[in-house]
Structure 1
Amino acid sequence: MTSDWNPVFKRAESGQEDEVLAVLDETAAWLAARGVQQWPARFERAWIEPAVARGETWLVEVEGKVAATVTLDWSDPLWEEDGDAGYVHRMAVRRWAAGLGGRVLGWAGDVARAEGRAYLRLDCVASNRRLRAYYESAGFAHRGDMTVGGAPGQRESSGPVTLVSRYELALAP
């Protein structure tokens, strides 16, 4: 039961990209099997390496096993009001740890608040109604939809185009 778990958040280091990719790919396959077009079938190493190198990607362990991954950074070109928020990207939880997502979001909010940020922001594919409802039930407010290009988590001017919904959570001081 996730309420009994004591997750440990560890910064992913160079050499742990395969662990990050394993969680992302497992989650992507689970989504695809349910007809959800959130992520590609497989993530490319090049998509996550920069965030790992910058120290923005985390592995979440439960009982000594990798249960989740999340990237938390301090800017995102999808938001014009940059600088006052933490941004959650590529949050994925292994199926055996289902229910851990709320703890990961809570941790991200705590880290952002400790960094003096007023908001926690994230986005998801606009057509993913279940995930949108999940974020809204967690207190995130919808802040509009935007079209983005590039691979998941990238903000490119070229490549595949996806409509995403932006969400924001005000962090209490």
Structure 2
Amino acid sequence: MTHIEQATPRDLDAFLDVLSAASARLHARGIDQWPRRFAASKVLPDIEAGRAYVVRDGRPVVATTILSEVGDADFWTPAELADPAYYVSKIATVDGYTGLGSALLDWCGRQAARQGGELLRLDAWRTNPDLHAYYLARGFRHVRTVELPHRNSGALFERPARDTVTDAMRDYGLADPSPVEVTP
């Protein structure tokens, strides 16, 4: 049975491995979305701040996400950044866990709502229409696309944060309202 827990610095390599596996799948489909391997500096601050989560199936990490109250000022306006919103990033799964990404998005939305968030937001790669369709099919709406020369992401999506348990969450053991807290 899978379960979600707060990532610790000990999880850094496994977290990066899951992102690398997802990146390899994208690159194999001709989608140059993520680097082959993220630098530790792109994840470690979120782990240390308690914003990063891992999903385990037994011992191995099979999915990752970061859930933060801090939005990217490159994309979201000052007024939007003042909204009661949470931002999801670095969401990825390993092969063989169909539906886990959707369950993890639902879990993030529930966590956001339970912490006073009204919206769950994310930014996606601008040139990945399949990913845009994936988010739209999961209840997100496209807010706008921001094109910056120094960023490849910028397709902005949001949906209401809801304190509900979905079938996908139940299927993957993510219905418990809180992640397992692990001491570093």
Number of the residue aligned with 1:87: 87
- Displacement of 1:46 after TM fit? 1.3
Cα distance, 1:14–1:39 mapped onto 2, change above 3 Å: same
Number of the residue aligned with 2:104: 104
Percent of aligned pairs sharing the same letter = 31
Query: Residue type matched to 2:29 in 1?
Result: R
Q: In the comparison of the two structures, how many residue pairs are matched?
A: 158
Paired residues of 1:37 and 1:128 also in contact (CA < 8 A): no
Pair 1:66 & 2:61 matched: yes
- Displacement of 1:15 after TM fit? 2.1
State the distance in 2 between where 1:90 and 1:9 align: 15
SS of 1:144 mapped into structure 2: strand
Deviations 1:106-158 (A, max 9, x none): 10000000011100001111111111000000000000011357xxxxxxxxx
Give the TM-score, by structure 1 length.
0.85
- Displacement of 1:16 after TM fit? 1.5
Paired residues of 2:109 and 2:160 also in contact (CA < 8 A): no
* CA RMSD after TM alignment: 1.6
State the distance in 2 between where 1:36 and 1:60 align: 25
- Displacement of 1:99 after TM fit? 1.9
Give the TM-score, by structure 2 length.
0.80
Number of the residue aligned with 1:164: 154
SS of 1:147 mapped into structure 2: coil
Deviations 1:35-58 (A, max 9, x none): 112101111111111111111110
Paired residues of 1:10 and 1:58 also in contact (CA < 8 A): yes
- Displacement of 1:7 after TM fit? 3.1
Number of the residue aligned with 1:137: 137
Paired residues of 2:64 and 2:93 also in contact (CA < 8 A): yes
State the distance in 2 between where 1:130 and 1:39 align: 15
Number of the residue aligned with 1:155: none
> Unpaired runs of 5+ in structure 2?
164-184
Query: Residue type matched to 1:11 in 2?
Result: Q
Cα distance, 1:172–1:21 mapped onto 2, change above 3 Å: closer
More strand by share: 1
Which 4+ residue blocks in structure 1 deviate beyond 6 angstroms? none
Match of 2:31 among 36, 42, 57: 36
Number of the residue aligned with 1:156: none
Cα distance, 1:104–1:18 mapped onto 2, change above 3 Å: same
